[in-house]
A and B are shown apart, each in its own frame.
Chain A
Amino acid sequence: MKSLTLRGWVTLVVLVALALLPVFVNMTGREFYLVLATRLVILAIAAVSLNLILGYGRMISFGHAAYLGIGAYAVGIPAYYEIYNGFIHIGIAVVVSAAFAFLTGLVCLRTRGVNFIMITMAFSMMVFFAFVSIEEYGGDDGLVIEVRSEFGRWVNLENDTVLYYVCFVSLLGILYLIRRIVHSRFGMVIQGARGNEDRMQSLGFDTFRYRLVCYVIAGALCGYAGALLGNFTSFISPEMMDWTRSGELIFMVVLGGTSSLFGPVLGAGLFILLEEILSGFWLYWQLIFGIFLILVVLFAKGGIDSWLGRRPER
């Protein structure tokens, strides 16, 4: 085995810690940490999916939380009609998210820069208000999910530890998937278009279509994370796709490091921990958080990932 860099060590330690966390919880009986870690892992999946478009494609979507909401409602609405099959839930979450990404992407991806940010945000707010206005599913008040998704006899999500491991394994799988995508021909085109779109077109790439496919993949993955989130919270409301939620996802990615695979996981982790610690100290913790955010953007270009040493040449 090659000797590990600092970056490699941090990745390994974080993953091992996450893998062993339920054992620790089991020994100490502090259920609270399992709840915290489950939320962390789910949001890490969302952040990693956002990073595929934001980091590798420089498509700064300010509406990514919409997919978390779509995924969560894909669990909640069938459950409302007493359909508890988890495969159906996940299927709806992924397909509807992909369809939403495709249709909005057709419009959004014709714009660049600030316009892209604004229009992705606008579409997510449309979803937000759509769910607010549907009284049947609780409207503003949200929807309680009484029964978690059912995956047959072997995987019982009602057990919190099982749910946690499903989320954790999902994170590992999605990290591996994105790693493959980023290094594939497709990933090369996406990163090439990030660097110089005119050149990519003059080489013969229809960059719009490649970007659209990338946008759809990211949306579908985040929809999947949303389905996990719906199971986890047992209570869903339009608030979870508010634009501030999208902003938090962006912050996690930027905090962790945009052009690294594992950075967003670290970003999500630090975000959740800080939120937890600071909110315990002071009612107005968001003030401190805001200052911290500004400092990171000003002084930590490249996020946590850049503190872990220079990136080796690809």
Chain B
Amino acid sequence: MGESVILGIKDLYKSFGGVAAINGLTLDVLEREVHAVIGPNGAGKTTLVSQLTGVVLPDAGQVVFRGRDITRMPAYRRPHLGMARSFQITSIIHDMTVLENVVLAVQAKAGHSYRFWESAIVDDQLTEPAIRALTQVGLEAEAMQIAGPLSHGEHRQLELAMVLATDPELVFLDEPTAGMGREDSTRMVSMLESLKGSCTIILVEHDMDAVFALADRITVMVEGRAIATGTPDVIRADRLVREAYLGEDMNTAVK
């Protein structure tokens, strides 16, 4: 793990109708670490991801990616810096095939798409990386199926494949195991484990088993603020964290 900061978040503030969702959040994410963000419902975790990916712009504060201020950069430009995200609620293109979904992800990074003549789906430059990403998540057998009717677990895998296909340097994963059964969830965690060290991952997750298995560092968010950041051991031991959030959860997670 490198010690340089890939993403610096300073005094971030965002309110919706007078209610502060993010309330002066400051946080540094280091190169190639898995940085988990945990906290109770309503702590502002998804709002944070939305702001870091440019879907929602903050009211105040600063987001710096490798020394470059990206606070107000539009969402569609951030992937070109090497940022990618997965959504808490599966976000895929339902009426396209699995392969086409991933091809689009590859295409997004392969220069502009103002090409009107050659067929995209038979273009090796697009399909080869797409198949590789699908193989990585174990979904290559379903490549030619329409994405919509697949199972929830397969949707989550596809979602991850679309992230991987862009060959990202910084990945936001918003609850990758959301709604998954034990078995799928375990498979997802081991899949993410294999990614460790190849890119920086910011992981928002409710499943404490997943968080403590994957994270190099953990930030605990409560009411829009980071109340603690540290290694899993430090977070386990933190009295403030136990009181504010972990409580009973903690005991089961530590086992």
Interface residues of A (CB under 8 A from B): 180-181, 183-189, 191-192, 195-196, 198-207, 210, 213, 313-314
Docked CA distance A195–B95 (Å): 7
- The segment from B5-13, B61-69, B117-125, B237-245 that touches chain A is B117-125
Say yes or no for B55: interface residue by CB 8 A criterion.
yes
**For residue A192, which residues in chain B have a CB less than 8 angstroms away from its CB?**
93, 96, 104
The answer to whether B108 and A205 touch across the interface, beta carbons within 8 angstroms, is: yes
- 4 nearest interchain CB pairs? A204-B79, A195-B93, A204-B108, A203-B108
Of all chain B residues, which has the CB nearest A207?
Answer: B76
In this complex, the member of B76, B77, B103 whose beta carbon has the largest number of chain A beta carbons within 10 angstroms is B76
- What's the nearest-Cβ distance from chain B to residue A258, in Å? 12
Docked CA distance A186–B110 (Å): 12
**For residue B103, which residues in chain A have a CB less than 8 angstroms away from its CB?**
188
The answer to whether B78 and A204 touch across the interface, beta carbons within 8 angstroms, is: yes
Q: A200-B104, A202-B55 are in contact. Are A189 and B113 (CB under 8 A)?
A: yes
The answer to whether A314 and B121 touch across the interface, beta carbons within 8 angstroms, is: yes
26 A–B contacts, CB within 8 A, in A order: A180-B117, A181-B117, A184-B116, A185-B107, A185-B118, A185-B120, A185-B123, A186-B116, A188-B103, A188-B113, A189-B104, A189-B107, A189-B113, A192-B93, A195-B94, A195-B95, A196-B91, A201-B75, A201-B76, A202-B53, A202-B87, A203-B108, A203-B166, A204-B76, A205-B113, A313-B144
Docked CA distance A200–B113 (Å): 12
Say yes or no for B203: interface residue by CB 8 A criterion.
no
The answer to whether B91 and A202 touch across the interface, beta carbons within 8 angstroms, is: yes
The answer to whether A185 and B96 touch across the interface, beta carbons within 8 angstroms, is: no
Q: A188-B104, A314-B100 are in contact. Are A204 and B120 (CB under 8 A)?
A: no
Interface size class of B (residues with CB under 8 A): 35 or more
* Among candidates B95, B113, B144, residue contacting A185 with C-beta atoms closer than 8 Å: B113
In this complex, the member of B92, B96, B97, B145 whose beta carbon has the largest number of chain A beta carbons within 10 angstroms is B96
In this complex, the member of A180, A183, A195, A206 whose beta carbon has the largest number of chain B beta carbons within 10 angstroms is A195
Interface residues of B (CB under 8 A from A): 53, 55, 74-80, 84-85, 87, 91-97, 100, 103-105, 107-109, 113-121, 123, 126, 144-146, 162, 166
The answer to whether B92 and A202 touch across the interface, beta carbons within 8 angstroms, is: no
Query: Given contacts A195-B93, A199-B92, A206-B76, could you give 7 more A-B pairs where the C-beta distance is less than 8 Å?
Result: A192-B104, A195-B94, A199-B162, A202-B84, A202-B85, A203-B104, A203-B166
Of all chain B residues, which has the CB nearest A189?
Answer: B113
Docked CA distance A188–B114 (Å): 10
- What's the nearest-Cβ distance from chain A to residue B104, in Å? 5
**For residue B97, which residues in chain A have a CB less than 8 angstroms away from its CB?**
313-314
**For residue B118, which residues in chain A have a CB less than 8 angstroms away from its CB?**
184-185
**For residue B105, which residues in chain A have a CB less than 8 angstroms away from its CB?**
203
* Among candidates B87, B107, B145, residue contacting A188 with C-beta atoms closer than 8 Å: B107
Docked CA distance A201–B74 (Å): 9
Q: A180-B117, A184-B118, A204-B78 are in contact. Are A196 and B93 (CB under 8 A)?
A: yes
Of all chain A residues, which has the CB nearest B126?
Answer: A185
